[in-house]
Amino acid sequence: MAQSAENMARDACMWVNAHPSDFKRLMSVFHRQVDAGFPCTRRGDVYKAALDMGMDVSVVDQLRHDHNLYAPLTRYMVMLRPRLARTINFRKSKLDQIDLVSIWHQEVDPSTVFLASSRMEAERMVELNDAAAA
């Protein structure tokens, strides 16, 4: 049975709560990819870069193989830092139909400021060269 979008988002938030420094390190991997001008960072690229940064292999393996975790985490990343949409490419997902911000505020931190309300808004910000996506 397929996992609901809300459960996927809550599981991702639980992962962030359990691995806050790893989440920040993963975001750093994507920032480096943007800075290097890579228009598409694949999971394998993230895997190698994360290992090169010294991340725990079991954590990186989990992300590489678990689409139900990777998809919401990357959406949260671009919502927090829209510039990451320059290198993270998305497929259509049921996650795009729910309020990810609300779930994050309930599960992780109610004071978190998201610069984009969805991955689609982050992508539009990149297309428009919005300063928040620079």
- Greater confidence (87 vs 54) lies with 87
pLDDT in tens, 105-121: 999 999 999 999 999 99
Q: How far apart are CA 23 and CA 17, in angstroms?
A: 9
pLDDT in tens, 18-53: 999 999 999 999 999 999 999 999 888 888 888 888
Q: How far apart are CA 23 and CA 1, in angstroms?
A: 28
